[in-house]
Structure 1
Amino acid sequence: MIIKKPKINLKSIFPPVVWFRQYNTENAVCDFIAGITVGLTLIPQSIAYAALAGLGPEYGLYSSLCGGVIYAVFGTIPQLNIAPTALLSLLTFTYTNGAPFGAANAAVLLCFFAGLIELVCGILHLGFLVDFVSVPVVAGFTSAGAITIASAQVKNLMGLSFNGETFIEIWKNVFEHISEAKLWDGVLSIVCCSVLLLLRQIKDYGTPPVSESKEGSRDLKSILKTFVWFLSVSRNAVVVLLCAVMAYTFSLHESKPFSLTSKVSSGLPQLTPPPFTVVSNNNETYTITDMAKYLGSGIFVTPFIAILSNIAIAKAFAQGKVVDATQEMLAVGFCSLFGSFLSSMPVNASFSRAAVSNASGTRTPFAGIYTSIMVVLSMTFLTPYFTYIPKATLASVIICAVIFMVEVSIVKPLWKINKIDMIPLVVTLVACLIIGIEKGILAGVVVDALFLLYYSARPRVEIEEVMNDSHNYLKIMPDSAVFFPAIENLREKIVQTTNNKTDKFQTVVIDCVHISRVDYTSAKGVASLCNDLEKNGKSLVIVNAVVDVERVLSGACSDKCIFAKTDQDLIQSLKDFPFRAGSVATVHFDYISDEWYKDSEKGTNL
């Protein structure tokens, strides 16, 4: 016997095997422009997000080093760049702030655990788990995260100094310390936010350089539009650079009107394993088990949010292609795992950076390598000057990035299409703001699960009373599978309906055309229904049941009911039963609202 070895599909594991064959000079130029442009957005963002995570600015740069390179090898969506993001930075702060073994050590170890779990989810093909989180829950969580992040930066906008994690704690401390606000930090914040929002708006008046090259015109007007576009997408770098130059100029005159960033460690990080054992300043040793206990649910919540966000962003920029969720999980898992060896905090893709990359005309994930090179150059030559960046400027960059993450636009269509979906949205939003991000997500998922259980226990059922020259019966048609939570309620309603119409028909027909599965409890419930109908002198007929459903029901009901394969077989089976002349009347019984709805054109209320 010849045993064939399974073939390894290199094209799916290493996407560059596919796109590198068609890689040419035009693609390289487009990727270079996109990579440089994203780098101008990423560098100031990463410094700001490190502060949001409660870490030194260098950790934001460390976290941006290898994401572009690793994703270029394993990623599938050209526009994505794996680096620090606002939501993961907030989660990092939540789980690592105040760690007795050091917040930086906790963040790096959290990144390591997140990478492991993301890889396991990819290997086991667990991408379907994100489907259990509905759009309203994601919108509520994202909006609450954005509001919390913006609130956390208010203290830096005003030059205040206090500790606060939750939304309520932050604003309570803001009002308690409002008298300590620094004038020039507040003025600088207003100016920075105004300039950032203004530059964001002028992007519509510019044109990406790739679009201009396609048109073939490079007159003064097109060059000016390209400049406006570059100025808009690199607004974070422009504002940070101008404010740092201004602060440096003041320092030359021995003046310090703004609160400045802490000193940034120069040079590249050392390639070392994550801190599996840490000795604190008190000479207390913390093992990996001790640190994992401290991180708690963050070990699972952080990678779950990273996967959820990454797949959502990948789908948004897939351009009609099917997103390989498994490969995306592997890609972000490798980025986090390798990043932890370079002192990275948890990372994933960012919608804003993906949008910039898409507008810049990126062709392949190779653009991420150019972005990583820019990060390396900035860490090599610019780190001594990062200490002159005002905290108010970084806070402005964060706020102007996250305020557009608040999902205001979803409220109107949600209210118009299905008002009940507002419940998980509001519950998630409020819970995240009051009791914390991770508990808020759990609350939203629980509400979604309760809705699913309720719909499963109360499926919609169409009840049709049929009366014609050959037969007379009551037809029951559930619109979904009938499992144990629904069978008892269904049985009671059928018995109640038949009792109210004792003389009108002698047969009840359950149409299983929409039922693909039933369980043992449901089958026993149908058997009990047979007994109830038999006591009232009525019979039960099962029609259009698939093989598996018929096997389960026949095993439970024995010879108590009749099975008909098709509607034609049903008519043949009912020839021995009495009938009445008349017409078909249809009413709908909605178990969710527990009301009868009469057909608008014909029929009577059963």
Structure 2
Amino acid sequence: MNLKRYFPILDWGSTYTRDTATNDLIAAVIVTIMLIPQSLAYALLAGLPPEIGLYASILPLVAYAIFGTSRALAVGPVAVVSLMTASAVGELAAQGTAEYLGAAIALAFLSGLMLVVMGLFRLGFLASLLSHPVISGFITASGLLIAASQLKHVLGIGGGGHTMVEIMGSVLSRLGEINLITLVIGVSATAFLFWVRKGLKPLLISFGLRPRLADSLAKAGPVAAVAATTVAATVFHLGDQGVKLVGDIPTGLPMPTLPPFDAKLWLDLAGPALLISVVGFVESVSVAQTLAAKKRQRIVPDQELIGLGASNIAAAVSGGYPVTGGFARSVVNFDAGAETPAAGAYTAVGIALATLFLTPLLANLPQATLAGTIIVAVLSLVDFKALKRTWVYSKSDFTAMAATILVTLGIGVEAGITSGVVLSVLLYLFRTSRPHMAVVGIVPGTEHFRNVQRHRVLTGTKVLSVRVDESLYFANSRFLEDRILELVAERPSISHVVLMCPAVNVIDASAFETLEELNRRLKDSGVKFHLSEVKGPVMDRLQQTDFLEHLTGEVFLTQYQAFCTLDPHTAHVAEARNPKQKATSDLWSGPEI
């Protein structure tokens, strides 16, 4: 057993140096500063006490450092998973209760188990069910939902809801309850954070700071907003004037805990846990692969499943909730110079120190400031331009993307992503059930065959050459049979049909039976059925049956060889335009082409 495969720390740890440690420490300081307000904010978004966000940012980072393969991925609470947690757990228990916290811990534990099992069985391919348009649509809709859900904190009013209609209806019905002081804090903090994202770095550079230092200071913008509003709330006693504050946060490290072992609870959470696992994995791997490519590194997706699974189990046993790799946080970690996953472990130490010593200072932090932090973070995920790009490129993908957005906003996050996956699969089946099929002819003076509707080619009168541009399976086998028989009926002089298979990677059992039936029906019509350019793995499967014994025609290595054998006169005419070309009639003789 290769331990380095399951414990990547043994790989990069063996070459760890003092310089590497220095770079990791610098990156950890920057990420810690960024992660403290994010952890608090995302915990509140998940409907949990703020300290739970800090707990979910300690042990999970250490676990990923041991089991993860990305050198820059920063694991911890993220907005989308926090929203999904609130949606899943909110249906089972009321916020603020022990049952709610227990369900969130159980969700993290169950998600972690699923990820580890998927990794051990190398099931990372399951994430492919989530197409990019579906993920993009889901994240866009989630960003809008999250931003809308934070309006009540910015305005200082009550209310809630899980859909956009519920949230906005609740906000509009309570506009008369707006707390003006809270509104000023929320709007000011949000505007400041938006400006920090774009305007602070150029300003600092104009003052003579080095770009890297300026960028690091700009990333610390949320900390400045937290500090300023906390001081203001303390000095002016804003809590007594109706401004909602974070309140007392317990000091100290999380105590080891176990999730509630309730069979019904686990059954209720199984679906949401699977969705959170897959969505978190897709988001993490996308970020990790992008950052790894910049340094010509590689990640191992199946091991990433184990790394993320271990992180979620660690979150559960330390009283946290589901975590995954965050996009913005990982980019900051990468830009700050992190070289190994040890940077995450150092970040965990920083969060632990904050949990021990800084939490008393955060009691007077206005919730409106955290709401502004969330709004600024999630609106960067909203990408309406992707809708236009997808519409131009693929109407079916646009349909899946738009449906995901509308269902997520109108019904909820779980229904949204489920509908996107289902619709994507249905649209795929629809597209591939009517594959592109082209009648082809030879391009004079070459051995190439092209679509008769796109190129000037020769076809002859004896041979019908048809190219199918899709693997053959149950959904399109009937279409293939009907189309070929239709083409034969239109050409009474045809005596040979050649099915070109350069794009056929698989022929399933249904399609195989269709080929057998097609061979019989063409035989009854006095037409021989041939195959050409069959790929090796497909040919291997056919050779395991008696299909080739009953085939009325032959299997040719290339379409040119088939044409020269079956219609040498037309092939000679085409060849005459380029005397250097020579016709051959070799048949299939090898397993792979």
TM range, smaller chain: 0.7 to 0.9
Residue type of the alignment partner of 1:453: L
Cα distance in 2, alignment partners of residues 116 and 297 from structure 1 = 13
1:293 aligns with 2:283: no
**Which residue pairs with 1:236 in the alignment?**
222
In the superposition, the TM-score normalised over structure 2's length comes to: 0.86
- Which one of the candidate residues 469, 480, 487 is aligned to 2:477? 487
Cα distance in 2, alignment partners of residues 529 and 293 from structure 1 = 48
1:522 aligns with 2:505: no
Q: Per-residue deviation at 1:384? A: 2.0
Q: Per-residue deviation at 1:11? A: 2.4
1:264 aligns with 2:258: no
* Pair 1:561–1:41, CA change in 2 (3 A): same
8 A contact 2:530–2:552 mirrored in 1: no
Cα distance in 1, alignment partners of residues 276 and 414 from structure 2 = 9
8 A contact 2:204–2:214 mirrored in 1: yes
**Which residue pairs with 2:367 in the alignment?**
391
Cα distance in 2, alignment partners of residues 220 and 321 from structure 1 = 36
**Which residue pairs with 1:221 in the alignment?**
208
Cα distance in 1, alignment partners of residues 285 and 279 from structure 2 = 10
**Which residue pairs with 2:530 in the alignment?**
541
8 A contact 2:529–2:551 mirrored in 1: no
8 A contact 2:12–2:340 mirrored in 1: yes
Q: Per-residue deviation at 1:195? A: 0.8
1:450 aligns with 2:426: yes
* Pair 1:385–1:461, CA change in 2 (3 A): same
1:312 aligns with 2:299: no
Q: Per-residue deviation at 1:45? A: 0.6
Larger deviation: 387-396 or 492-501?
492-501
Cα distance in 1, alignment partners of residues 109 and 542 from structure 2 = 51
* Pair 1:523–1:110, CA change in 2 (3 A): closer
**Which residue pairs with 2:451 in the alignment?**
none
Cα distance in 2, alignment partners of residues 469 and 268 from structure 1 = 78
Q: Per-residue deviation at 1:568? A: 6.5
Alignment of 1:19-418 (within 5 A): 19-97=12-90, 99=93, 102-202=99-199, 204-205=201-202, 221-222=208-209, 228-251=214-237, 255-256=240-241, 258-276=243-261, 288-318=262-292, 319=294, 320-418=296-394
Task: State the superposition RMSD in angstroms.
Answer: 2.8
Q: Per-residue deviation at 1:550? A: 4.2
Q: Partner of 2:156: helix, strand, or coil? A: coil
* Pair 1:484–1:245, CA change in 2 (3 A): same
* Pair 1:152–1:580, CA change in 2 (3 A): closer
* Pair 1:543–1:407, CA change in 2 (3 A): same
**Which residue pairs with 2:447 in the alignment?**
none
Q: Partner of 1:405: helix, strand, or coil? A: coil
8 A contact 1:457–1:485 mirrored in 2: yes
* Pair 1:551–1:46, CA change in 2 (3 A): same
Identity %: 28
Cα distance in 1, alignment partners of residues 15 and 533 from structure 2 = 53
Q: Per-residue deviation at 1:370? A: 2.2
Residue type of the alignment partner of 1:19: W
Cα distance in 1, alignment partners of residues 555 and 265 from structure 2 = 62
- Which one of the candidate residues 566, 588, 591 is aligned to 1:574? 566
Cα distance in 2, alignment partners of residues 200 and 567 from structure 1 = 59
Cα distance in 1, alignment partners of residues 458 and 87 from structure 2 = 69
Cα distance in 1, alignment partners of residues 289 and 212 from structure 2 = 28
**Which residue pairs with 1:424 in the alignment?**
400
* Pair 1:510–1:294, CA change in 2 (3 A): closer
Residue type of the alignment partner of 1:300: L
Q: Partner of 2:255: helix, strand, or coil? A: coil
Cα distance in 1, alignment partners of residues 459 and 179 from structure 2 = 90
Cα distance in 2, alignment partners of residues 469 and 387 from structure 1 = 82
8 A contact 1:471–1:578 mirrored in 2: no
8 A contact 2:24–2:343 mirrored in 1: yes
Cα distance in 2, alignment partners of residues 401 and 513 from structure 1 = 47
**Which residue pairs with 2:501 in the alignment?**
512
Q: Per-residue deviation at 1:130? A: 1.0
8 A contact 1:471–1:571 mirrored in 2: no
Residue type of the alignment partner of 2:14: R
Q: Per-residue deviation at 1:548? A: 2.7
* Pair 1:520–1:557, CA change in 2 (3 A): farther
Q: Per-residue deviation at 1:465? A: 5.2
Cα distance in 1, alignment partners of residues 239 and 409 from structure 2 = 42
Deviation string 1:86-118 (CA, Å, 9 cap, x unpaired) is 111111111112516621111111111111111
Cα distance in 1, alignment partners of residues 170 and 343 from structure 2 = 43
Q: Partner of 1:442: helix, strand, or coil? A: helix
Larger deviation: 81-90 or 91-100?
91-100
Cα distance in 1, alignment partners of residues 212 and 475 from structure 2 = 62
Residue type of the alignment partner of 1:26: D
Cα distance in 2, alignment partners of residues 557 and 174 from structure 1 = 73
Q: Per-residue deviation at 1:560? A: 3.8
**Which residue pairs with 1:555 in the alignment?**
547
8 A contact 1:207–1:226 mirrored in 2: no
8 A contact 1:15–1:73 mirrored in 2: yes
Q: Partner of 1:361: helix, strand, or coil? A: coil
Cα distance in 2, alignment partners of residues 474 and 49 from structure 1 = 63
**Which residue pairs with 1:472 in the alignment?**
462
**Which residue pairs with 1:283 in the alignment?**
none
Deviation string 1:33-79 (CA, Å, 9 cap, x unpaired) is 11011001101110111110111111111111112222222222232
* Pair 1:465–1:500, CA change in 2 (3 A): farther
Q: Per-residue deviation at 1:436? A: 0.9
Q: Partner of 2:415: helix, strand, or coil? A: helix
Residue type of the alignment partner of 1:268: L
Cα distance in 1, alignment partners of residues 509 and 350 from structure 2 = 62
Cα distance in 1, alignment partners of residues 305 and 566 from structure 2 = 56
